Structure 1
Amino acid sequence: MPLVLPPVIINDSTLRDGEQAPGVAFTSPEKIAIACALDAAGVDEIEAGIPAMGGQEIGTLLAISEAVERAAVIAWCRMMPEDVDAALLSGVERVHLSVPVSDRQIRAKFGTGRKDVLDRIARVVPYALDRGLTVSVGGEDASRADSDFLKRVVVAVEAAGAHRFRYADTLGVLDPFSTYDAFRALCAETDLELEFHGHDDLGLATANTLASIRGGATHASVCVLGLGERAGNAALEEVVTALRETQGRMTHVSLSRLGPLAEMVADAARRPIHESKSIVGGSAFSHESGIHVSGLLRDAGTYEALDPAIFGRQHEIVLGKHSGGAAIRAMLRSLGLESDHHRVAAILDAVRARAIRCKRAVSVEELAEFHAATMAPHVGIFGGTHAEARV
Structure 2
Amino acid sequence: MKPWNVEICDVTLRDGEQTPGVSFSCREKADIASTLDAIGIEVIEAGFPAVSANEKECVTTIADLGLDARICGFARAREGDIQAAIDCGVDMVSIFIPTSELHVRLKFRKPREQVLQDALKMIDYAREQGVQVRFAAEDASRTDLPFLREVYRGAADHGAVLLSFADTVGCLIPSEMRTVMADLVASVDRPFCAHCHNDMGCAVANTITAAEAGAFQLHTTVNGIGERAGNASLDELLVALRMKGGVDRYDLSHLKDLSLMVEKYSGITLPRNKPVTGELAFSHESGIHIAAILEDPLAYEYFPPGLVGGERHFILGKHTGKKALEHVVASMGCELSETQICRVLDMVKDHSEHKCNITPEVLKKLIRKAQHEQENA
Deviation at 1:358, TM superposition (A): 4.6
Counterpart in the other structure of 1:139: 137
SS in 1 for 2:187: coil
- Residues in 1 aligned to 2:111 and 2:315: alpha-carbon distance in whole angstroms: 59
Counterpart in the other structure of 2:40: 42
1:331 matches 2:328: yes
Structure 1 residue runs without a partner (length 5+): 385-391
1:275 to 268, 272, 275: 272
2:12 to 1, 14, 34: 14
Q: 1:231 to 1:261 in 2, by over 3 A?
A: same
Per-residue CA deviations over 1:265-310 (Å, capped at 9, x if unaligned) read 1111011222111111111101001111121112211111111121
Counterpart in the other structure of 1:103: 101
1:359 matches 2:356: yes
1:318 to 297, 312, 315: 315
Deviation at 1:54, TM superposition (A): 2.5
Structure 2 residue runs without a partner (length 5+): none
- Residues in 1 aligned to 2:94 and 2:356: alpha-carbon distance in whole angstroms: 49
Amino acid of the residue matched to residue 227 of structure 1? I
Per-residue CA deviations over 1:32-91 (Å, capped at 9, x if unaligned) read 221112112211111011111132111111111111421111100001112112112212
Counterpart in the other structure of 2:239: 241
SS in 2 for 1:355: helix
Amino acid of the residue matched to residue 339 of structure 2? H
SS in 2 for 1:14: coil
Identity of aligned residues (%): 35
- Residues in 2 aligned to 1:252 and 1:20: alpha-carbon distance in whole angstroms: 29
Deviation at 1:117, TM superposition (A): 2.9
- Residues in 1 aligned to 2:131 and 2:269: alpha-carbon distance in whole angstroms: 38
- Residues in 2 aligned to 1:58 and 1:231: alpha-carbon distance in whole angstroms: 26
Amino acid of the residue matched to residue 43 of structure 1? I
Deviation at 1:178, TM superposition (A): 0.7
Counterpart in the other structure of 1:372: 368
Q: Is the 8 A contact 1:7 1:251 kept in 2?
A: no
The 5 A counterparts of 1:164-175 are 164-175=162-173
Q: 1:378 to 1:344 in 2, by over 3 A?
A: closer
1:254 to 251, 256, 276: 251
- Residues in 2 aligned to 1:89 and 1:305: alpha-carbon distance in whole angstroms: 46
Q: Is the 8 A contact 2:255 2:277 kept in 1?
A: yes
1:191 to 159, 174, 189: 189
- Residues in 2 aligned to 1:51 and 1:297: alpha-carbon distance in whole angstroms: 52
Counterpart in the other structure of 1:230: 228
Q: Is the 8 A contact 1:36 1:68 kept in 2?
A: no
Q: 1:338 to 1:138 in 2, by over 3 A?
A: same
Measured on the aligned residues, the alpha-carbon RMSD in Å equals 1.7
SS in 2 for 1:304: coil
Q: Is the 8 A contact 1:44 1:252 kept in 2?
A: no
Per-residue CA deviations over 1:334-370 (Å, capped at 9, x if unaligned) read 223333433222111111222233532x123332332
Number of equivalent positions = 377
Counterpart in the other structure of 2:114: 116
Amino acid of the residue matched to residue 374 of structure 1? A
Q: Is the 8 A contact 2:3 2:245 kept in 1?
A: no
Farther-moved stretch of structure 1 (286-295 vs 142-151)? 286-295
Q: Is the 8 A contact 1:39 1:68 kept in 2?
A: no
Counterpart in the other structure of 1:52: 50
Amino acid of the residue matched to residue 362 of structure 2? E
- Residues in 2 aligned to 1:372 and 1:57: alpha-carbon distance in whole angstroms: 58
Q: Is the 8 A contact 1:8 1:251 kept in 2?
A: no
Q: 1:291 to 1:63 in 2, by over 3 A?
A: same
1:284 matches 2:281: yes
- Residues in 2 aligned to 1:288 and 1:295: alpha-carbon distance in whole angstroms: 12
Farther-moved stretch of structure 1 (279-288 vs 326-335)? 326-335
1:179 to 177, 180, 187: 177
Q: Is the 8 A contact 1:121 1:160 kept in 2?
A: no
- Residues in 2 aligned to 1:89 and 1:11: alpha-carbon distance in whole angstroms: 21
Q: 1:76 to 1:377 in 2, by over 3 A?
A: closer
Per-residue CA deviations over 1:86-141 (Å, capped at 9, x if unaligned) read 11221213100011111110111112222113202321101100011110000000
Amino acid of the residue matched to residue 160 of structure 2? A
Counterpart in the other structure of 2:261: 264
Q: 1:378 to 1:346 in 2, by over 3 A?
A: closer
- Residues in 1 aligned to 2:337 and 2:250: alpha-carbon distance in whole angstroms: 48
- Residues in 2 aligned to 1:252 and 1:72: alpha-carbon distance in whole angstroms: 17
* TM-score, normalised by the number of residues in structure 1: 0.92
Q: Is the 8 A contact 2:97 2:137 kept in 1?
A: yes
SS in 2 for 1:188: helix
Deviation at 1:173, TM superposition (A): 0.2
Deviation at 1:321, TM superposition (A): 1.9
